[in-house]
Amino acid sequence: MTETHFIEGANIHANGIRQHYLRYGGKGTPLVLVPGITSPAITWGFVAEQLSKDHDVYVLDIRGRGLSETGPDLDYDLDTYAADIRGFIDGLGLKDVVVLGHSMGARIAIRLARRDDRGLASLLLIDPPVSGPGRRPYPSKLEWYTRSIRQARKGMTAEDMRAFCPTWTDEQLGLRAEWLHTCDELATRITFEKFHTEDIHQDLPHLKVPTKLVVATRGGVIQDPDIKEIRELNPAIKIVSVPDAGHMIPWDNLPGFLEAVATD
C-alpha cells in the first residue's frame, strides 16, 4: 500500500459559507493551496502529498467547486473569493501561512494579500491569468470548460476526458472525470468572464509579503512582456520559469514544479 500523508477531509463555516478542505501532513509551516477555476481539491492530492513533507497543507474546494457550498445565490468575484480565504485562515487560526494559488487561485492570493496580509508568510503564484480590462484575453476558451462540465454531469470516463486533457495520465484523467461535475457551470462562467474584467495588476505594487511567481513555459498564459511589466510593478517579486510544462504545471513536470516552489 502506498504511504500517504493525508490526514482528513473536513468542513468549516467561514465567510458565511461552508468551505470544504483536505489536509495533508500536519507538521511544518501551514500552506493553504488555492486551486484553479475547475480543479476540486482532490485533484491536487498528488501535489499536496509532496508538499506535505515540509508543510501542513490545506487544499481548498473553492466556493462553487468540489464539496464546498455552491449555488446561484452566491457571489463569484475576486473580492469574495479573497474574503473566503481570509475567513478560512482566521477560522482555523493559522499563523505564518504560505498561500499557494494556481491560476484563478493565484489571482485570489494576490487580491487577498493586497486587502489583508495578516498572518501571511509568503505567496506562491502559479501561472495566474494576466488578462484584464484592456488586456489580451486568457488563452483558454470558455467553451472548453462548459462543454467538459456538461459532459461530466452526464457521466464521463477517463477516456472521454482525454479529448480535453490529452497529455494527462490515466489516473489524472480518471480523477478529473470523476470530480469535474462538482464544478458549478455558473460559477465557472462568471469567474472566466471576470478574468477579463477584474484587474490584478493594480494589486501587485501593494504586495508586501515575499512573493514568488512561477511561470509555465508553454501555454502562453504569462509571456515575456507580462514578466517585464510585473517586474516593473513590483521588483521584489521573484520570478521562476518551469521548463517542459503547460499551464497545469505539476501535471506536466512535477519535479520542476516542486523545485520552483521550494523555499530558497
CATH number at residue 125: 3.40.50.1820
**Structural domain count of the chain:** 1
- Identify the CA nearest to 262 among candidates 102, 31, 24, 82: 31
Residue 160 lies in a domain: no
pLDDT surpasses 70 at 1: no
Condensed to tens digits (0 to 9), the pLDDT of residues 172-203 reads 999 999 999 999 999 999 999 999 999 999 99
Q: What angle do CA 35, 232, 108 make, to 5 degrees?
A: 20
Residue 21 lies in a domain: yes
Condensed to tens digits (0 to 9), the pLDDT of residues 79-117 reads 999 999 999 999 999 999 999 999 999 999 999 999 999
pLDDT surpasses 80 at 228: yes
What is the per-residue pLDDT for 3? 86
Instruction: Compute the mean pLDDT over every residue in the chain, rounded to the nearest whole number.
Output: 97
Q: Mention every residue, 6+ apart, whose C-beta is less than 8 A from residue 29.
A: 54, 55, 56, 96, 97, 98, 121
Does this model's pTM top 0.75? My answer is: yes
Condensed to tens digits (0 to 9), the pLDDT of residues 5-64 reads 999 999 999 999 999 999 999 999 999 999 999 999 999 999 999 999 999 999 999 999
Q: Contact, 205 vs 234, CB < 8 A?
A: yes
Condensed to tens digits (0 to 9), the pLDDT of residues 139-166 reads 999 999 999 999 999 999 999 999 999 9
Q: Give the distance from CA 147 to its chain's centroid.
A: 21
What is the per-residue pLDDT for 188? 98
Residue 171 lies in a domain: no
Strands 238-242 and 211-216: parallel
Rounded CA separation 260/107 (Å): 18
Residue 114 lies in a domain: yes
Q: Contact, 199 vs 132, CB < 8 A?
A: yes
Residue 166 lies in a domain: no
Residues spanned by the domain of 124: 6-136+199-261
What the block records as the C-alpha cell of 94 is 493559522
Strands 6-14 and 29-34: unpaired
Which runs of E-coded beta strand occur in the chain?
Answer: 6-14, 17-24, 29-34, 55-60, 97-102, 120-126, 211-216, 238-242
What is the per-residue pLDDT for 237? 98
Residue 163 lies in a domain: no
What is the per-residue pLDDT for 87? 98
Residue 147 lies in a domain: no
Condensed to tens digits (0 to 9), the pLDDT of residues 247-264 reads 999 999 999 999 999 976
pLDDT surpasses 80 at 2: no
Collapsing DSSP to helix, strand or coil, 261 comes out as helix
Residue 56 lies in a domain: yes
